């Protein structure tokens, strides 16, 4: 069986010492961690009495007596004597098991050097020792089936995955409780565990695996989405096995400790009448999203029943309660597994939706309105209800919990004022129109037919020389009233209706015009980076046509760089690879944009002819809000350099970002701190007047 070796290995890689003794204290087994802790080789330890290693024999004997008397595991602090005579403070848990006729004690010893860590981990020590006890007892038999059975009874998730593909090779049954899926689902779909990682934590997890060196073990905490849609916190200790090419891990669900005990949590966080999550749970759910800086967009709906007060007043609370229960059931059903529904107060409900695009949000709001069409039947009587819904979109309408709810409530009142039984978005009417697909589509058409699209250029600075390296071309679509429409909005519409192909040609043309003009004013080499969307990349002739166009215009290919997002490349790796090779052979350099936000496999990336990784601004902007962002930036930088690629950081807005990135060996910087995107005319004027784009400040504090 495939999993035989690593399961036995678990005992030796565990950071805790594990010892098995008989009732007199004679050591029958000791793992590597224990040998190391006390400074004796395990061959010497076997047969030795445990008492001879203890500085405080009494404590141990009392502990054993108590365990024998009460039959459960026990924690105690104790001092061991190291072979070099020093005293080691440790904490141990002792557990007794009966094996056939004889009694064995399993002792789990943990070095107490790091008190903080200890306090955190103490609460899991009972489970841990149970796990270790079972494993040891199975060692006595050393039969796989038993081992498998024992592993099934352990509460912690034990697993291992391939260190290259991260595909799952083994997991015990405990996974079912933590994830809510059958274990077989994980064994047949080897990437299911990755799909269930909460979207905002995927980078963290991936970075963790990329940087955990063979032979090392480390702990990581991250969130997953339970089968029923609930976010759960897990803590995993993971070991990178050097010769088996596996990551081996033990994972526990720490959601409950985070919210005290589950029972208290349920009472504290659920509404006793409808069993829906309550207002406190809603806040917790929202806050846990905000704990990570790069929260993905979502929608929040505030739903209020119309005229419910009348029913309560005329028919009494009992009937009112029955109706509320039925309303909750219908809402729960409409909202489905992946979204979240809470009872906010009397007849108010709040729903969180993962899909924040207007089409999905509209569809859900319609569905909710529809669920009220059917009569509510209580005591043989039919009641007809309707609801009014207010909707806010994160991050467009609000950026914190209070404002989200406040604005959704405002929108809900607007829905009431407009005649109830409908939904209303929080936006002002202009903002709402801007999010409207058809409206944007029309603006794009106008933009194309009237040549309104205009490229802006944002300088990129080489950190070694502090000179200009090139420009990123960023597209602007002017709007008659709103100034500009953000490219993030119109590009996604153009991608979905195919207009992006025409837009892409326009971008290339304007970029080439710009290169031609700038070359006349500026002798040094530079490049213009153009953004290419996935739809363009997947056109059969994309690379050839681009090279051909540059050739026609007599522009050397080194003047163009192509920026592709990680997800565009990973969408179809074979097509992407073919196009990238053609571009590279033609001399066009390639940058991987928004790096860190997708979910790419480094083993693929290493094979692709990528020149530069562009760390996404969502890591740079909140660089000093969480240390994990700084670690990710450093890890990407190291990784890129190992792979022979360069690194660019975008979104450099502050001097603190600048100083940090200069220090961390980032090759190129881009951001408002250095220079905003400028129209062509302004760039040319600066070049003519020899005005620098920016006045960079050396990290030491003087300007050049
Ligand atoms: P991107 O490729 O990641 O472009 C960088 C974005 O970051 C630009 O936003 C730029 O203005 C902005 N930025 C630069 N420095 C800073 C900074 O210090 N702080 C902050 N907060 N932002 C900074 P922009 O111009 O709104 O473009 C948004 C996205 O639209 C681009 O993201 C790109 O994905 C897409 N896009 C823009 N132009 C084109 C284009 O010609 N073709 C295609 N396919 N996509 C484009
Ligand atoms: Ca870009
Ligand atoms: Ca980017």
Taking the CA of residue 532 as reference, the ligand 1 atom at the shortest distance is: 44
> Could you tell me if residue 130 is inside a domain?
no
| pLDDT, tens digit (0-9, with 9 covering 90-100), for 477-518 | 988 776 788 898 899 889 988 999 999 999 999 999 999 999
Q: CA–CA separation, 176 vs 568, rounded Å?
A: 34
| Last residue of one domain, picked from the residues 64, 95, 114 | 114
Whether residues 599 and 487 share a domain: the answer is: yes
Whether residues 478 and 537 share a domain: the answer is: yes
> Could you tell me if residue 440 is inside a domain?
no
Taking the CA of residue 456 as reference, the ligand 1 atom at the shortest distance is: 25
Closest ligand (CA of 648): 3
Whether residues 335 and 382 share a domain: the answer is: yes
Whether residues 159 and 74 share a domain: the answer is: no
Cis peptide bond N-terminal to 395, omega within 30: yes
CATH number at residue 683: 3.20.20.450
Taking the CA of residue 673 as reference, the ligand 1 atom at the shortest distance is: 18
CATH number at residue 63: 3.30.450.20
Whether residues 314 and 254 share a domain: the answer is: no
Q: CA–CA separation, 465 vs 525, rounded Å?
A: 14
Provide long-range contacts, Cβ within 8 A and 24+ apart, for 675-682: 675/458, 675/459, 676/458, 677/456, 677/457, 677/458, 677/472, 677/474, 678/456, 678/457, 678/458, 679/454, 679/456, 679/457, 680/454, 680/455, 680/456, 680/457, 680/510, 680/514, 680/517
pLDDT of residue 2: 37
Closest ligand (CA of 677): 1
> Could you tell me if residue 432 is inside a domain?
no
Residues of the chain with pLDDT under 70: 1-15, 71-73, 98-101, 112-147, 149-150, 153, 256-266, 292-295, 428-435, 482, 598-603, 695-704
Segments of 387-544 assigned E as strands:
387-394, 423-425, 454-462, 468-479, 483-485, 527-531
167 Cα: distance to centroid of ligand 2 (angstroms): 31
Strands 454-462 and 668-670: antiparallel
Model-wide pTM > 0.75: no
Residue 237 β-bridge partners: 219, 250
Residue 665 β-bridge partners: none
**What helix, strand, coil percent values describe the chain, rounded to 5?**
45, 25, 30
| Last residue of one domain, picked from the residues 212, 227, 259 | 259
> Could you tell me if residue 702 is inside a domain?
no
CATH number at residue 374: 3.30.70.270
Q: CA–CA separation, 249 vs 268, rounded Å?
A: 32
Whether residues 423 and 292 share a domain: the answer is: yes
Question: Which residues, including other chains, have CB under 8 Å from residue 151's CB and lie 6 or more apart?
Answer: 7, 134, 135, 158, 172, 173
Q: CA–CA separation, 78 vs 56, rounded Å?
A: 7
Whether residues 314 and 463 share a domain: the answer is: no
- For 1, 302, 505, 536, the CA distances from 512, given in Å and listed in that order, are 61, 50, 11, 18
- For 8, 167, 241, the CA distances from 214, given in Å and listed in that order, are 18, 17, 6
> Could you tell me if residue 131 is inside a domain?
no
Whether residues 465 and 316 share a domain: the answer is: no
The residue whose CA is least distant from atom 37 of ligand 1 is 474
Q: Which domain holds residue 348?
A: 270-427
Q: CA–CA separation, 494 vs 447, rounded Å?
A: 12
Whether residues 241 and 298 share a domain: the answer is: no
> Could you tell me if residue 471 is inside a domain?
yes
If one counts the domains in the chain, the total is 4
| CB-based neighbours (< 5 A) of ligand 2, an ion | 531, 563, 593
Tokens representing 54?
Answer: 């203890």
| pLDDT, tens digit (0-9, with 9 covering 90-100), for 399-419 | 788 889 999 998 999 898 888
- Which residues have CB under 6 Å of ligand 1? 458, 474-475, 486-488, 491, 507, 531, 533, 563, 593-594, 617, 621, 650-653, 670-672, 677
| Last residue of one domain, picked from the residues 259, 284, 306 | 259
Whether residues 385 and 455 share a domain: the answer is: no
pLDDT of residue 660: 95
Mutate to test the pocket of ligand 1, among 452, 461, 474, 494 (most ligand atoms within 8 A of CB): 474
pLDDT of residue 226: 92
Whether residues 450 and 579 share a domain: the answer is: yes
């Amino acid at each position: 069986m495939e999993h035989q070796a690593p399961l036995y290995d678990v005992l030796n890689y565990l950071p805790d010492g594990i010892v098995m003794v008989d009732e007199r204290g004679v050591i029958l087994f000791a793992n590597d961690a224990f040998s190391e802790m006390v400074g004796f080789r395990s061959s010497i330890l076997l047969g030795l009495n445990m008492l001879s290693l203890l500085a405080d024999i009494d404590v141990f004997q009392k502990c054993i007596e108590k365990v024998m008397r009460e039959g459960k595991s026990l924690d105690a602090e104790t001092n061991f004597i190291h072979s070099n005579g020093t005293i080691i403070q440790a904490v141990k848990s002792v557990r007794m098991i009966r094996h056939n006729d004889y009694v064995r004690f399993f002792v789990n010893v943990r070095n107490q050097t790091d008190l903080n860590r200890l306090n955190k981990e103490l609460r899991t020590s009972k489970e841990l020792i149970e796990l270790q006890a079972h494993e040891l007892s199975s060692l006595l038999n050393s039969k796989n089936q038993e081992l498998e059975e024992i592993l099934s009874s352990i509460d912690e998730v034990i697993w291992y995955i391939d260190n290259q593909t991260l595909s799952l090779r083994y997991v015990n049954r405990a996974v079912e409780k933590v994830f809510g899926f059958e274990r077989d689902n994980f064994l047949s779909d080897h990437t299911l565990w990755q799909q269930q990682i909460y979207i905002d934590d995927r980078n963290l997890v991936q970075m963790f695996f990329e940087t955990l060196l063979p032979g090392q073990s480390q702990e990581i905490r991250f969130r997953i989405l339970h089968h029923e849609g609930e976010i759960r916190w897990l803590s995993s200790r993971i070991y990178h096995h050097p010769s088996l090419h596996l990551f081996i891990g033990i994972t526990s669900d720490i959601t409950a400790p985070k919210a005290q005990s589950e029972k208290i949590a349920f009472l504290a966080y659920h509404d006793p009448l409808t069993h829906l999550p309550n207002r406190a749970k809603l806040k917790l759910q929202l806050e846990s999203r905000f704990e990570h800086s790069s929260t993905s967009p979502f929608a929040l709906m505030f739903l209020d029943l119309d005229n419910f007060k009348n029913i309560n007043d005329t028919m009494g609370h009992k009937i009112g309660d029955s109706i509320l229960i039925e309303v909750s059931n219908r809402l729960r059903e409409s909202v489905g597994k992946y979204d979240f529904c809470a009872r906010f107060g009397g007849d108010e409900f709040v729903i969180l939706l993962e899909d924040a695009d207007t089409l999905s949000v509209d569809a859900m709001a319609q569905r909710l309105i529809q669920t009220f069409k059917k009569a509510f039947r209580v005591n043989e009587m039919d009641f007809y209800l309707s609801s009014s819904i207010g909707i806010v979109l994160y991050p467009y309408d609000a950026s914190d919990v209070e404002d989200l709810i406040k604005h959704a409530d405002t929108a809900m009142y607007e829905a009431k004022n407009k005649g109830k039984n409908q939904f209303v978005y929080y936006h002002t009417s202009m903002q709402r129109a801007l999010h409207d697909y058809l409206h944007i589509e029309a603006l794009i058409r106008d933009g194309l037919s009237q040549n309104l699209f205009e490229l802006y250029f944002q300088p990129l600075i080489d950190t070694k020389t502090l000179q200009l390296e090139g420009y990123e071309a960023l597209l602007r679509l002017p709007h008659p009233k709103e100034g500009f429409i953000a490219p993030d909005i119109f590009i996604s519409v153009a991608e979905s209706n195919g207009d992006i192909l025409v837009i892409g040609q326009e971008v290339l043309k304007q970029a080439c015009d710009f290169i031609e003009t700038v070359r006349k004013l500026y002798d040094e080499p530079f490049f213009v980076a153009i953004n290419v969307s996935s739809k363009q990349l997947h056109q059969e002739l994309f690379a050839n046509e681009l090279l051909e166009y540059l050739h026609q215009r007599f522009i050397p290919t080194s003047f163009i760089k192509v920026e592709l997002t990680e997800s565009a490349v990973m969408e179809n790796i074979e097509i992407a690879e073919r196009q990238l090779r053609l571009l590279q052979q033609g001399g066009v350099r390639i940058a991987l944009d928004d790096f860190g936000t997708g979910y790419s496999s480094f083993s693929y990336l290493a094979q692709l002819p990528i020149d530069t990784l562009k760390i996404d601004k969502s890591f740079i902007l909140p660089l000093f809000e969480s240390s994990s962002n700084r670690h990710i930036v450093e890890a990407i930088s190291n990784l890129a350099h190992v792979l022979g690629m360069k690194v660019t950081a975008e979104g450099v807005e502050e001097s603190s970002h600048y100083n940090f990135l200069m220090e961390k060996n980032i090759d190129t910087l881009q951001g408002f701190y250095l220079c905003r995107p400028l129209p062509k005319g302004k760039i040319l004027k600066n070049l003519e007047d020899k005005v620098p784009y920016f006045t960079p400040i050396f990290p030491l504090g003087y300007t050049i």
